[in-house]
Structure 1
Amino acid sequence: MRKLSLIIAFAMSMAETAIVNAQAKQKGHQENPYTLVYEGALTENEEGKVNIHPVTYKLNGIEIAANVYTPAGYDASKKYPAVVVAHPNGGIKEQTAGLYAQRLAEAGYITIAADAAYQGASDGEPRHTDNPASRTEDVHGMADFITQYPGVDVNHLGALGICGGGGYTLKAAQSDKRLKAVATLSMFNSGEVRRNGFQNTQLNTIQERLQQASDARAQEAAGGEIIYAGVASVTDEEIAKTPTNLYREGFEYYYRTHAHPNSTFLYTMSSLLDLMTWDATSDMDLIDQPLLMVAGSKADTKYMTDEAFAKATHAKNKELFLIDGATHIQTYWKPEYVSQVVNKLVNFYQSNL
């Protein structure tokens, strides 16, 4: 019965997300041919301006869906610095990852934002698998693709990871020295949080949750239904009562103001087998590239950025930059905060790429 309830909840979530997306558009989101849901998103390609190019490519046998942004006046015969952008947990390329990819393209960079394997418009089964090795490989895969893109200077490749994508970008940068300058925004250590709970609130239930993940994996192996963890749907009342800024504002962002049918807070329960034994900050001393870590001064996730930054003992020119007054989710969309982040990123990449 519990299994059936989870399956029903998942189906309802997909329907509700589509409805919410339509409602968000009615509230002011312009229907976008590229399905982008961020403010100022491109609605058409015009000669001489920043353009968007939907692409697909294979990564370990899985077809990945991505958007490449090229700067104004792009000329494939010239050489441009490039940046790979990894999206947040639950996020997709059409949301904040696309916003920052576009803004960096406006500053002269060729950028790529890809949906993680098993998520968004990318292929892979079971859907919504959140495997840290795979998410790290997604960053390597974006680097593989964009370094072959016409006009990209392979010696000037940077990385930007947002939220969970920040943690995976740190892990990718530990070994991938094609990434010459590494930045994170509102970094979220997925392994630490899935293991210990947000703000270490679930330390007493680690073994119980590992057992649940093990049981879910066993059920999948036996050909049974996929069990999902996370939040399938949320009411306005539940949002209002959510005590932490991260989740309250996250529900508003993903299920209300910037909803997209490909974006969901769900992940397979069996994903916890890998997530709970993984940590973004292990081997941080392997990062010897320039490192910029950005977080809101009021972000309740800032402790994760602090922990990672302290462990980056060999990073070159490392800097922790705080956006005064910003919470975690506000760095995804709020214009004044986004502008501050973009300006800082551009200065960082100009100095280090």
Structure 2
Amino acid sequence: MSLSPMTSVVVAASLAIASGAADAADYRNNPFTLTYDGAITQNLPGRVNIHPVTYKLNGLDISANVYTPPNYDPKKTYAAIVIAHPNGGVKEQTAGLYAQRLAEQGYITLAADAAYQGASGGLPRYVDKPSNRVEDIHGMADYISSYAGVDKARLGLLGICGGGGYSLKAAQTDKRFKAVATLSMFNSGRVRRNGFMDSQLSSVQARLQQASEARAQEAAGGKVLYANDVVLTDEQIAKLPFEMYRQGFEYYGKTHMHPNASAKYTLSSLLDLMSFDATNQIELINQPLLMIAGSKADSLYMSEDAFSKATGTKDKELFKIDGATHIETYWLPKYVNTAVAKLTQFYARTL
């Protein structure tokens, strides 16, 4: 499929669409609008409980869910893990699934919507600047460190997809995080700049020009322009060049749809995204590092690249889930179980 520079950003990570039947994990059937199978429907004694919270970050309201472990006692102390969601995702999707599963293992966990996205505040909507996403992660550490029962000396970080790339950046300087893990890491800056699998190198300057014009239009009080603000037919989806995008439309638009999730982002955000790279100065990470990715994920090259550049830590592992694609690590039980088992082992050792 031939794409112009403007529409080529349609094929970006973690796509979402607002149509299609939510037939596998319908948010409308869950009182917390969680979209994953096995999600909490009510808080019960002796079980993992969910606590919707709102906190301030740089003047914005951040919407988040705290998950507390079975038999949680605020007078006791617990290690905590914050989870950064994928690009285009929200806390009710895969970030919530992993937060719940890790809470089952005895951790207090936090999944929060990024500023300008989901149920969090910020205008214009769907600004997607790396500095904001990294600040979101610092803000999660701020909030959870003062939550009742949290041992702030045992704080872990998990980033999924785009949240994984931003977690690598946040952990470079934020040493409150004692252990860092990523799942299906997506280097947003590299892909926005070069295209997926570096397939759009020839249009970098054209796309930067479009982003610059969009910024100028915003500054003059004009209409805010968005990238990825499209709906594709099933036939168009089938023709997308990469499996991650095809499965992403299925996950975000049908099986795990949430009304707060959107793949679109302000076109002017590309001014910041295209000069960002999650691996720049990654050698500053000296904490234990675990990177998990599917062996069949077409995004695997990004985890492999980051892992090879993470020379500042001697405690690191790249763990490949045999047979898994990028999106399948978000929800498919056998792959989620494998990832959770590996994460549990990692955090038990490092926190």
Match of 2:50 in 1: 52
* Cα distance in structure 2, aligned partners of 1:232 and 1:95: 21
**Correspondence for 1:262 among 260, 263, 288:** 260
Q: How many residues align?
A: 336
Match of 2:280 in 1: 282
More helix by share: 1
**Correspondence for 1:232 among 227, 230, 233:** 230
> Partner amino acid for 1:190?
S
CA contact (8 A) 2:25 2:255 kept: no
Match of 1:322 in 2: 320
How far has the Cα of 1:316 moved from its partner?
Answer: 3.6
CA contact (8 A) 2:25 2:37 kept: no
CA contact (8 A) 1:158 1:349 kept: yes
How far has the Cα of 1:28 moved from its partner?
Answer: 5.9
TM-score normalised per structure 2: 0.94
* Cα distance in structure 2, aligned partners of 1:223 and 1:301: 38
Q: Does 1:346 align with 2:349?
A: no
* 1:248-273 CA distance string (max 9 Å, x none): 00011111111111111101100000
Alignment of 1:187-226 (within 5 A): 187-226=185-224
* Cα distance in structure 1, aligned partners of 2:288 and 2:238: 40
How far has the Cα of 1:279 moved from its partner?
Answer: 0.4
* 1:42-79 CA distance string (max 9 Å, x none): 01111121000000000011110000000000000000
Match of 2:11 in 1: none
* Cα distance in structure 2, aligned partners of 1:141 and 1:194: 25
> Partner amino acid for 2:312?
H
Q: Percent identity, aligned pairs only?
A: 66
Match of 2:165 in 1: 167
Match of 2:148 in 1: 150
Question: Which consecutive residues of structure 2, in runs of 5 or more, have no partner in the other structure?
Answer: 1-6, 8-16
Q: Does 1:94 align with 2:87?
A: no
Q: Does 1:271 align with 2:269?
A: yes
**Correspondence for 1:185 among 183, 186, 209:** 183
Match of 2:291 in 1: 293
How far has the Cα of 1:38 moved from its partner?
Answer: 0.5
How far has the Cα of 1:154 moved from its partner?
Answer: 0.5
For the residue of structure 2 that corresponds to 1:232, the secondary structure is coil
Question: Which consecutive residues of structure 1, in runs of 5 or more, have no partner in the other structure?
Answer: 1-5, 7-15
* Cα distance in structure 2, aligned partners of 1:223 and 1:40: 46
**Correspondence for 1:113 among 90, 95, 111:** 111
Match of 1:35 in 2: 33
* Cα distance in structure 2, aligned partners of 1:236 and 1:93: 26
* Cα distance in structure 2, aligned partners of 1:28 and 1:328: 19
> Partner amino acid for 1:164?
G
* Cα distance in structure 2, aligned partners of 1:177 and 1:93: 24
Alignment of 1:75-94 (within 5 A): 75-94=73-92
How far has the Cα of 1:235 moved from its partner?
Answer: 1.8
* Cα distance in structure 1, aligned partners of 2:146 and 2:162: 26
CA contact (8 A) 1:63 1:122 kept: yes
For the residue of structure 2 that corresponds to 1:89, the secondary structure is coil
Larger relative contact order (Cα-Cα within 8 Å, sequence gap ≥ 6): 2
* 1:171-201 CA distance string (max 9 Å, x none): 0000000000000000000000000000001
* Cα distance in structure 1, aligned partners of 2:234 and 2:88: 19
CA contact (8 A) 1:296 1:323 kept: yes
* RMSD of aligned Cα (Å): 1.4
CA contact (8 A) 1:239 1:252 kept: no
